Structure 1
Amino acid sequence: MNTILLVDHTEYKYQIQKLLAQLYSVISVDSAYDAISTLNMQDVDLVISQVELPGDNAFDLYNYLQKHYTYIPAIMITEKDIDTFFDKIFTQGIGNVLKIPVNENEFINLVNKIISRKNIFGLEHYVSNIKNTKAIRITSSKQIQPAVDTMLSTIESWGFAIKNKSVLNLILNEMIINAVYHSHGYTREKEMRIPVELKSGQYVDVTLCHNASLYAIAITDYQGTLTKERILQSIHKAIEQEQLILKAAETGEDISDKISETGRGIDLMRKLASEFYFIIQQNKRTEIILLFESDPNAKKSSSLKIIEDIH
Structure 2
Amino acid sequence: MSIPIQFSTPNQADLASDASNPKRQHYRVLIVDDDDVIREGLVGYLENYHEAAYDLTVEASPSPQDARQKLAESRFDLVITDINMPGEDGFSLIQFIKQHYPDTRTAMITAYKVEDYVRNAKKTGVFNIIAKTAPFNFEELSSVVTNLLEPASAFGIETYMDPQCKLSQVIIKNSEDIMVAFNALQTFLGGTSIANPNDLLTAVIEAITNAVYHVAKLPNGALKYEKGQPIDQLEESEYVYIYYGQDLERIGIAIVDQGGRITADEILYWLDRNISGTGLMDTHGRGVYLIHRLVDRVLINIAPGQRTEIIILDYLNHLYSANKPIYINQL
- Per the TM superposition, whether the score is higher than 0.5 is yes
Contact 1:208-1:216 within 8 A present in 2 as well:
yes
Which position in structure 2 is the counterpart of 1:10? 35
Summarize deviations over 1:181-222 as a string: whole Å, max 9, x none: 222227645556433442244311100111123221000112
Gaps of 5+ in 1: 245-256
231, 246, 252: which is aligned to 1:210? Answer: 246
Residues 154 and 48 of structure 1: is their aligned pair in 2 closer, same or farther, counting only changes over 3 Å? same
Whole-angstrom CA distance in 1 between matches of 2:41 and 2:285: 35
- CA drift at 1:74: 1.1
Which position in structure 2 is the counterpart of 1:265? 287
- Is 1:70 the counterpart of 2:92 in the alignment? no
- Is 1:226 the counterpart of 2:262 in the alignment? yes
- CA drift at 1:129: 4.0
216, 224, 229: which is aligned to 1:194? Answer: 229
Residues 53 and 298 of structure 1: is their aligned pair in 2 closer, same or farther, counting only changes over 3 Å? closer
Whole-angstrom CA distance in 1 between matches of 2:186 and 2:110: 34
* Counterpart residue type for residue 311 of structure 2: I
Which position in structure 1 is the counterpart of 2:16? none
Residues 55 and 220 of structure 1: is their aligned pair in 2 closer, same or farther, counting only changes over 3 Å? same
Gaps of 5+ in 2: 1-25, 51-55
SS in 2 for 1:125: helix
- CA drift at 1:121: 1.5
Whole-angstrom CA distance in 2 between matches of 1:262 and 1:298: 32
Please show how residues 46-85 of structure 1 align to structure 2 within 5 Å. 46-85=78-117
Whole-angstrom CA distance in 1 between matches of 2:188 and 2:209: 20
Residues 107 and 135 of structure 1: is their aligned pair in 2 closer, same or farther, counting only changes over 3 Å? same
302, 306, 312: which is aligned to 1:280? Answer: 302
- Is 1:294 the counterpart of 2:309 in the alignment? no
* Counterpart residue type for residue 298 of structure 1: L
Contact 1:93-1:232 within 8 A present in 2 as well:
no
Residues 231 and 104 of structure 1: is their aligned pair in 2 closer, same or farther, counting only changes over 3 Å? same
- CA drift at 1:52: 1.5
86, 108, 128: which is aligned to 2:162? Answer: 128
- Is 1:179 the counterpart of 2:214 in the alignment? no
- Is 1:116 the counterpart of 2:141 in the alignment? no
- Is 1:98 the counterpart of 2:134 in the alignment? no
Contact 1:145-1:173 within 8 A present in 2 as well:
no
Whole-angstrom CA distance in 2 between matches of 1:263 and 1:130: 36
Whole-angstrom CA distance in 1 between matches of 2:252 and 2:121: 27
Contact 1:130-1:210 within 8 A present in 2 as well:
no
Contact 2:216-2:224 within 8 A present in 1 as well:
no
Whole-angstrom CA distance in 1 between matches of 2:296 and 2:316: 10
Please show how residues 161-176 of structure 1 align to structure 2 within 5 Å. 161-176=193-208
* Counterpart residue type for residue 147 of structure 2: K
Residues 31 and 131 of structure 1: is their aligned pair in 2 closer, same or farther, counting only changes over 3 Å? closer
Contact 2:297-2:312 within 8 A present in 1 as well:
yes
Residues 69 and 195 of structure 1: is their aligned pair in 2 closer, same or farther, counting only changes over 3 Å? farther
- Is 1:143 the counterpart of 2:163 in the alignment? no
- Is 1:155 the counterpart of 2:176 in the alignment? no
Whole-angstrom CA distance in 2 between matches of 1:105 and 1:41: 30
Which position in structure 2 is the counterpart of 1:25? 57
SS in 1 for 2:109: strand
Higher mean C-alpha displacement, 199-208 vs 161-170? 161-170
| Aligned-pair identity (%) | 25
* Counterpart residue type for residue 2 of structure 1: Y
Contact 1:7-1:48 within 8 A present in 2 as well:
yes
- CA drift at 1:234: 1.6
